[in-house]
Structure 1
Amino acid sequence: MANSKFEYVKHFEQPDTLLPNTWIVVRIDGRGFTKFANKYSFAKPNDRRALDVMNAAAKAVVTELPDITIAYGVSDEYSFVFHKSSTLFERRASKLVSTIVSTFTAYYIYSWPTYFPDSPLAPPLPSFDGRAVCYPSLQNLRDYMSWRQVDCHINNLYNTTFWALIQLGGMDGKEAEKELAGTFAADKNEILFKRFNINYNNEPEIYKKGSVIFRDYELVEPDSHHVAEDVEDLAQPAQQSKTQMENDKKKRAKARITVEHLDIIKDDFWNRRPWLLSGKPGKIPKLP
């Protein structure tokens, strides 16, 4: 490469390498999505079409980047988890985040007409920002995922009750806020059931639990392995040969990528899907 007197500017580039042997979570959020939702008249408290667009974009990201082991989304945010052994982009934060954000945004705009055929996008177009965080232990990662799902439940219960008071109870926003100030989950459930005959337990799972995306292999018996312990005991990720890496890549490519609405807080979800923690592809289910 030719040298020039202008090359000195390269010295301003600072290293942004993420910590090795850690779980990386890239979390993206919609920019100015309150205004965006109002512009396109999203249904309150939940618009299934809007969630489906998010899920379609996230599924495309997981498909294109096989290093992603699991993704979790709610509202206008999504978290993408990279296994601790991942060497994608040499664990550079800026490149990893920009790749996730740009790919997600492109597929969000591409998928929009499928779910909003009568509402073509117009500037300002939807956009997202993101950040990368390293979690040193499996427990940290599990706690992060649990935190996001608990937030999903808390926010959805509040929003469901808030909008019921407005849409069915005739209140305005300030009156509904005052009514819910200081209330607990039991109080909100009681308001929904006694005043509006709404059983919150019967609400769609996607609203209560959010969306989980992962490569789907054959489920295993919970007590047949000890993946979590094995992963935590590794000082460094096990090195694979090129042949092993190619075989794993082929298995990931064959796996069905699924969007589910499940409880990811309890151990059962992880115990029956050991590939999420091991980084190793599971067994491809046999076709019926």
Structure 2
Amino acid sequence: MYDSDLSDAEWKVLAPFFPVIDDEVSKPGRPREWSFRTILNAIFYLNKTGCQWRMLPSDFPPWSTVYDYYRHWRISGLWKTIHTALRREVRIKVGKNPEPTGACIDSQSVKTALSSPDSKGVMMVAKKIEGRKRHIVVDTLGLLLVIWVHPASISDSLGGQILLVLLNKCCKTIKKVWADCGYRGYLEEWYYRCSPKRELEITKRPQGKFVVQAKRWVVERTFGWFVWARRLSKDYERLPRNSEACVYICMIRIMVRRLV
């Protein structure tokens, strides 16, 4: 076993999301050769180690088979479905309501690989990073609610506006959102105009010293979790949708371990 492989207890958490192979025996066509658990282990290995698809160890299924399943599950929305269900279970386990009422928004700038020239830009302020931004919204536990990967040239205010629209569609229970000073101004006016019943609080950092900001440190910790998945250390994906799927896979692996 690799460290990224699913244990028996962890597989029991994910097994209900996949059909039982015995039920597919009577179906026409070529019988399934690889189990879903083996395919997931290969995907978790790639996400954890950051290797290339073609460099998967030989004791996993062929890389083309693994990628076909990964792509099919991304297009069908299975990764997001699993992530949403596990997030609710984790919240219930720690005594929270299944749906959150508070959220925190922030962005992370990452460089892109040479093989992924599409959908990237240069961050014009501060960091001057050429690549993409991972714009995320998390709940008060640091669990992912919404993610949008876009060129780094898009400002936080504009990116936050689109992200909050997505948040309003998928999480209608949110009553308050925390953000840093990068979202001050235009985003505040727009949010109160479009969502008068919801509050957007801009947290300010004291000058002259570093202080952990209340309510906002959870989103910074979530970005810290991404570091442990080497596939997320840099954006190697050609399509932003694949970048978002890699983040969902990282969070799924974290929540499965929490539930077990």
Classify the TM-score, shorter chain: under 0.3
State which structure, 1 or 2, has the greater radius of gyration over its C-alpha atoms: 1
